[in-house]
Amino acid sequence: MTNQKHDFPWVTIEDLAPDARFSLRVGEAGRDRAGLTLGLSLPTGVSNVVRHGERAVVCLGPDEWLVTAPEGERDAIVEAFATIYDQTPHSLVEISDRELTYRITGPAAFTLMTIGCPRDLSRLTPGRAVRTVFDGATVILWRDAEDAFRLDVWRSFAPHVRDLLDTGRAELAAGL
């Protein structure tokens, strides 16, 4: 079984190392200040992503952002937001441990995503990310390139999603 997986180069599924992740909620009045605190300008418009160094921020809703950063930057982010709290009311919740991330790459990555995601993924252009659903589980789907995706999956759903991805990959490998 293991060999068979390695013999199929069209799609690769990897577990990624943990990142620091935060859920940021802030109203329109505090948006600029919150962005500045991260060293960037918060993206507006659902699905838009802004990157700064190794930090990435995706707009998930009209007043909701997901912030990802290397684990080493976690404390600095928490401290920076604590200093603006009295001037700029917001909610910054650390959710690093809530989700696991899978990376799906290769020429068949797009096809593999379609087995669980009902969206028209051709309209999710590279560089953007959305919260959507993957076979019933809420996920954050990042499209990093034409044939590179990342899935942030809540821990309790992760075994189900991973099994489904592995099954889909095996079916693609078998030419189904």
Partner 1 sequence: MLLIHCPYCDETLPELEFAYAGEAHIERPKDPSALSDEEWRDFLFIRTNPKGTHYERWRHVHGCARYFNAARDTVSDKFLTTYRAGEARPDLDRKEAAE
- Would you tell me which residues interact with partner 1 (CB under 8 A)? 45-47, 60-62, 64, 118-119, 123, 130-133, 138
Q: Please check whether residue 130 is in contact with residue 141, taking contact to mean a CB–CB distance below 8 angstroms.
A: yes
Q: Which is nearer to partner 1, 106 or 151 (CB)?
A: 151
Give least dist CB 33 to partner 1, A: 22
Between 10 and 157, name the residue whose CB sits nearer to partner 1. 157
Beta-carbon-side half-sphere exposure of residue 70 (alpha carbons within 13 Å): 5
Is 82:92 a contact under the CB 8 Å cutoff? no
Instruction: Report the nearest approach of partner 1 to the CB of residue 117 (Å).
Output: 9
Q: What is the largest CA-CA distance in the chain?
A: 59
CB of 48 to partner 1, least distance (A): 11
> Closer CB to partner 1, residue 4 or residue 44?
44
Nearest distance in Å: CB 133, partner 1: 4
CA dist list (Å): 68 to 96, 111, 176: 9, 26, 36
